[in-house]
């Protein structure tokens, strides 16, 4: 990632400074811990500074220079985005800092990136890829897959998307620099969530009865009754959307059931 591959139509960033492969490995590794000090005041801010630090050591004068310290101050301030897509910001900010872009431009750019990286990531990953991967694992479970198969299927499928997105983000951020916002128009990011949602909806329909059947270990009137009751409760949950959390309702229902079972 040392060459500036500028896509047609985007303003060319300044020539890319040399950054060693080991530095990129270090930056990537630190990005996996980007939420390590997540808090309600600076959110991801310190994590951005932490991930960028190996790249910022390349600034003239190294870690003892004023340029390094000022960059660390800027990059450790408040930042909010989806943790996987912060890789786009990390790549672009590394490029901007090492290319000597004026601080006020970097700060404006940093602020502008927060919203898009948050909303795109939430739709693509938390409301798309994660439930899709879970449901695929539940289908495998429902078909009678072994524990090892179910676990490996989920971990490999989910993380193919996870690590792929982080690596793409870092690459595109570094190569496009401050022009990286245009990369968020990538069809995968714009239309991907809708496609994944449709696929996940179909997989959910298959997964729920199959998984229920395997957990129960039998089929018959009781199985049909459980699914029917489940459907009624599901409709009720959809109707009171936002006012009752499903997992809390299950907790109360099972606690009451357990109480009756133990007490009678």
Partner 1 sequence: MRELLPVAMLGGVLGLDVVCFPQMMISRPIVAGTVAGAFVGDSATGMLVGATLELIALATLPFGASRYPEWGSAAVVGSAIASAMHMQASGAITVGVLMALATAWVGGWTLVKLREWNAWLARRKRGALEHGSRGAVVGLQLAGLTSDLTRATILTALAYWLLSPLARAMVALWSFDATVSRAVTVGAACAVAAAAAWTIFHTARGARWYFAAGLMVGLLLLTLR
- Contacts of partner 1 in 7-46 (CB under 8 A): 32-33, 35-43, 46
Nearest approach in angstroms of CB 59 to partner 1 is 11
Residues 87 to 116 in contact with partner 1, rule: CB under 8 A: none
Of 5-13, 91-99, 105-113, 126-134, which segment contacts partner 1 by CB under 8 A?
Answer: 126-134
Residue list 175-204, contact with partner 1 (CB under 8 A): 193-194, 197-204
- The rounded distance, in Å, linking the Cα atoms of 169 and 87 is 5
The two most distant CA atoms of the chain are separated, in Å, by 77
User: 215 is written with which tokens?
Assistant: 């957990």
To partner 1, the closest distance from the beta carbon of 173 in angstroms equals 19
Residue 45 Cβ vs partner 1, minimum distance, rounded to whole Å: 9
Q: How far is the CB of 207 from partner 1 (least distance, A)?
A: 7
Total residues found in the chain within this entry: 264
Closest CB to partner 1 among residues 112, 222: 222
- Tokens representing residue 62 in the block: 């190294």
Choosing from 2, 20, 111, 159, the residue that interacts with partner 1 (CB under 8 A) is: 159
Residue 167 makes contact with partner 1 by CB under 8 A:
no
Taking the complex as a whole, the smallest distance from the CB of residue 29 to partner 1 amounts, in Å, to 9
Nearer to partner 1, 107 or 245 (CB): 245
Do 45 and 35 meet the contact criterion of CB atoms below 8 Å apart? no
Binding to partner 1 by CB under 8 A, coded x per residue (else -) over 210-229, reads xxxxxxxxxx--xx-xxx-x
Which of positions 129-158 make contact with partner 1 (CB under 8 A)?
130-131, 133-135, 137-138, 141-142, 147-148, 150-151, 154-155, 158
Instruction: Show the binding pattern over residues 62-91: x = contacts partner 1 (CB under 8 A), - = does not.
Output: -x----xxxxxx--x---x--xx-------
Q: Kindly state the number of chain residues that form the binding site for partner 1, as judged by CB under 8 A.
A: 104
Can you give the three-state secondary structure of the chain, one letter per residue?
CCCCCCCCCCCCCCCCCCCCHHHHHHHHHHHCCCCCCCECCCECHHHHHHHHHHHHCCCCCHHHCHHHHHHHHHHCCCECCCCCCHHHHHHHHHHHHHCCCCHHHHHHHHHHHHHHHHHHHHHHHHHHHHHHHHHHHHHHHHCCCCHHHHHHHHHHHHHHHHHHHHHHHHHHHHHHHHHHHHHHHCHHHHHHHHHHHHHHHHHHHHHHHHHHHHHHCCCCHHHHHHHHHHHHHHHHHHHCCCCCCHHHHHHHHHHHHHHHHHHC
Q: Which is nearer to partner 1, 5 or 215 (CB)?
A: 215
**In the complex, what is the shortest distance from the CB of residue 89 to partner 1, in angstroms, rounded to a whole number?**
15
Cβ proximity to partner 1: between 11 and 61 the closer is 61
């Amino acid at each position: 990632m040392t060459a500036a591959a500028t896509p047609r139509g985007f303003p060319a960033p300044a020539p890319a400074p040399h950054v060693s492969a080991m530095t990129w490995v270090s930056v990537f590794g630190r990005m996996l811990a980007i939420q390590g000090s997540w808090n309600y005041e600076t959110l991801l801010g310190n994590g951005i500074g932490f991930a960028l630090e190996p790249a910022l050591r390349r600034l003239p004068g190294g870690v003892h220079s004023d340029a390094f310290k000022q960059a660390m101050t800027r990059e450790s301030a408040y930042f909010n985005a989806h943790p996987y897509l912060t890789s786009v910001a990390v790549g672009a900010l590394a490029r901007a800092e090492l290319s000597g872009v004026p601080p006020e431009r970097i700060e404006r750019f940093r602020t502008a990136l927060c919203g898009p990286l948050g909303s795109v990531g939430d739709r693509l990953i938390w409301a798309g890829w994660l439930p899709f991967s879970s449901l695929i694992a539940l289908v495998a479970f429902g078909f009678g897959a072994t524990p090892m198969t179910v676990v490996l299927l989920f971990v490999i499928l989910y993380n193919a998307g996870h690590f792929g997105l982080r690596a793409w983000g870092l690459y595109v951020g570094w190569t496009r620099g401050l022009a990286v916002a245009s990369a968020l128009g990538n069809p995968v990011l714009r239309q991907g969530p809708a496609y994944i949602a449709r696929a996940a909806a179909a997989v959910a329909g298959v997964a729920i009865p199959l998984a229920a059947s395997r957990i129960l270990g039998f089929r018959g009137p009781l199985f049909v009754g459980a699914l029917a009751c489940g459907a009624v409760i599901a409709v009720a949950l959809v109707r009171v959307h936002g006012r009752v959390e499903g997992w809390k309702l299950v907790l109360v229902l099972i606690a009451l059931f357990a109480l009756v079972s133990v007490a009678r």
